[in-house]
Amino acid sequence: MEQSTLADALKMSVQVALGAWDIQNSRLVKLIESLPEGRLSDEIAPGKNTGVYVLGHLVAVSDNMLPVLGLGERLFPHLDEVFLTNPEKSGLAKPPVSELMANLHAVNKRLAEGFATLSPANWLERHTAVSEADFAKEPHRNKLNLLLNRTGHIAYHLGQLVWLK
Amino acid sequence: MEQSTLADALKMSVQVALGAWDIQNSRLVKLIESLPEGRLSDEIAPGKNTGVYVLGHLVAVSDNMLPVLGLGERLFPHLDEVFLTNPEKSGLAKPPVSELMANLHAVNKRLAEGFATLSPANWLERHTAVSEADFAKEPHRNKLNLLLNRTGHIAYHLGQLVWLK
């Protein structure tokens, strides 16, 4: 292919990945907004996590993408203790759903702003969760890979949250 | 970027997407193989689909990728009636798990062989589920996009199947 065609193709491949990220996030927001008031506090299935826990977990994981992708500091590091370090049954108080949803929108906005600063080539660079030495051996552990991984993670939990409908 | 660097970057972006596909499929197989005999026949949660139904559904959807990506004919089109066209409660007899797992391995093998014939640029071409006219307007509806979409679909159902553990 010619150089311009190659550049366009690379750009498109990144756009498709960003589109997949957007779709999973849109589905998440749409699903949660479709649930009746209070429904998210229920266990998704008997003995399983509540919807609130899964939502907080997803916000914390997305928030963590900011430093890992080199896009800035965490916005809500306090979420980790309740939603990442500890399981549902920890007894730790959860923030209200309205606060978590505001957090989710803020994180996704900040991520979108950060994504817009990355060139297609930047997406194939190392993310901060892999060392320079490891990246030299495993160049697929790049930012694009992390994006796809996190996109799949949202889809995974969406498959659970949908049962609250 | 230089032409050779661009070509390498494009190749890497496709490799990352193929890696994500492989990971979700590996997780699916590993999860199912970890379940006790017969467990897959249980409802995943009360009133929800059984594991067998979800497995058959995933095999049918993956099998359908062969024609949509232009990689050949379906291997197991008979699965559609039980696992795509009709819901769990249709009362239609389901094939045994051992047969569905053999189908899954055959489909994934055929897909891998097909993927190996596609150049990075081929992945950005139209898939057969979108018309040429629509593709001209929406060039992101390419084969790579379909791959990411189907990868997310497996992750979605993995989030459910994991509750059989």
Selected for mutation to probe chain A from B4, B6, B122, B140 (highest A CB count within 10 Å) is B6
Beta-carbon contacts of B152 under 8 Å, excluding residues fewer than 6 positions away, are A20, A23, A24, A151, A152, A155
Residue boundaries of the structural domains of chain A: 3-164
Task: Find out whether B1 and B9 touch, Cβ atoms under 8 Å.
Answer: yes
State what percent of residues in chain B have pLDDT above 70: 100
Buried b (16+ CB within 10 A) or exposed e, B119-157: ebeebbebbeebeeeeeeeebebbbbbbbbbbbbbbbbb
Mean pLDDT, to the nearest integer, of A52-65? 98
Does the beta-carbon distance from B151 to A148 stay under 8 Å? yes
B55 confidence band (pLDDT: 50, 70, 90):
very high
**DSSP class of B84:** I
SS3 A89: helix
> What is the rounded CA–CA span in Å between residue B25 and residue B116?
17
Residue A1 has pLDDT above 90, yes or no: no
Chain A positions with Cβ closer than 8 Å to B: 1-3, 5-7, 9-10, 12-17, 19-20, 23-24, 44-46, 48, 120-121, 123-124, 139-140, 142, 144-145, 148-149, 151-153, 155-160, 163
Q: Which two tokens stand for residue A129?
A: 């969760």
Q: What is the pLDDT of residue B3?
A: 81
Residue B1 has pLDDT above 80, yes or no: no
- Cα dihedral angle (B30, B32, B33, B35), rounded to 10 degrees? 120
Nearest C-alpha neighbor of A98 from the set A157, A160, A52, A144: A52
Instruction: Determine phi and psi for B151, rounding to 5 degrees.
Output: -65, -45
Does the beta-carbon distance from A157 to B160 stay under 8 Å? no
Q: Which two tokens stand for residue B112?
A: 């891998």
Mean pLDDT, to the nearest integer, of A19-23? 98
Q: What is the ipTM of this complex?
A: 0.97
Task: Find out whether A62 and A107 touch, Cβ atoms under 8 Å.
Answer: yes
- Identify any residues that bridge with A142 across adjacent strands, giving them in sequence order: A126
Task: Select A3-164's CATH number: 1.10.565.10, 2.40.10.120, 1.10.150.120, 1.20.120.450.
Answer: 1.20.120.450
- Residues from chain A contacting residue B148 (CB–CB below 8 Å): 16-17, 20, 148, 151
Residue B5 has pLDDT above 80, yes or no: yes
* Mean pLDDT score of chain B: 97
SS3 A95: coil
> What is the rounded CA–CA span in Å between residue B43 and residue B163?
10
The identity of residue A142, as a single letter, is N
Chain A: nearest CA to B89, how far in angstroms?
17
pLDDT in tens, A83-140: 999 999 898 999 999 999 999 999 999 999 999 999 999 999 999 999 999 999 999 9
Residue A79 has pLDDT above 80, yes or no: yes
Q: Which two tokens stand for residue B128?
A: 């057969």
Q: What is the pLDDT of residue B58?
A: 98
pLDDT in tens, B12-30: 999 999 999 999 999 999 9
